[in-house]
């Protein structure tokens, strides 16, 4: 009798396995609504076309490469020396230069003290005798351990820093 019950359960499980398997497959595919998945934005990220760019939005000529190739004598400071450019230069100097060159521009900044050789003394005749274009080029592309500021400071800030350095020299005289 036990053998018959076991035999009946085995035969029943053999017949139920395909049915259970088919039900599982049906539930799986019914639960995964693949048709609606294609409606999600994350599935179709490139379907929307890129808007038309206005001419001149992306530079194809000019930029820093032109500045790098220019003669420094051709560079002139476009900012007038006035209180506005002085204030802008003082602010930019505080952001980008004071930690190495110091608040007086003498090369005694807190970070600059760890460098060898020390940062340039901006009050020296070697610096002050340079034309604005030469200073702008050095500020823009760096020199020695000095990092290039063309990638972090705006062009206007770099020109204003030159006005501020020159005004520091006038004050120290």
Nearest by Cα to 135 from 99, 171, 93: 93
Q: State yes or no: pLDDT of 3 exceeds 70.
A: no
Q: What is the mean pLDDT of the chain?
A: 81
Tens of pLDDT, residues 132-172: 999 999 999 998 888 999 999 999 999 999 999 998 877 66
Q: State yes or no: pLDDT of 173 exceeds 60.
A: no
- Rama region for 143: left / alpha / beta (φ>0; ψ in -120 to 50; rest): beta
Question: Helices (DSSP H) in 38-154: which residue ranges?
Answer: 64-69, 83-96, 98-101, 125-128, 132-141
Residue 163 backbone dihedrals phi, psi, to 5 degrees: -60, -40
Q: Give the pLDDT of residue 32.
A: 61
Q: Give the pLDDT of residue 58.
A: 67
Token match 């060898």: residue? 116
Tens of pLDDT, residues 64-94: 777 788 888 888 889 999 999 999 999 999 9
Q: Give the pLDDT of residue 35.
A: 60
């Amino acid at each position: 009798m036990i053998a018959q019950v076991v035999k009946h359960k085995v035969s029943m499980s053999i017949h139920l396995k395909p049915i259970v398997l088919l039900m599982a497959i049906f539930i799986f595919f019914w639960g995964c609504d693949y048709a609606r998945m294609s409606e999600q934005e994350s599935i179709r990220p490139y379907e929307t076309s890129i808007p038309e760019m206005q001419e001149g939005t992306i530079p194809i000529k000019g930029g820093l490469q032109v500045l790098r190739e220019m003669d420094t004598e051709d560079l002139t400071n476009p900012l007038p020396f006035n209180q506005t450019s002085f204030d802008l230069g003082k602010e930019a100097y505080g952001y980008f230069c004071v930690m190495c060159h110091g608040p007086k521009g003498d090369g005694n900044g807190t970070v600059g003290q760890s460098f060898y050789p020390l940062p340039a003394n901006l009050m020296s005749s070697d610096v002050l005798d340079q034309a604005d274009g030469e200073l702008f080029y050095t500020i823009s592309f760096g020199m020695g351990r000095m990092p290039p500021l063309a990638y972090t400071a705006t062009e206007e800030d770099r020109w204003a820093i030159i006005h501020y350095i020159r005004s520091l020299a006038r004050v120290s005289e």
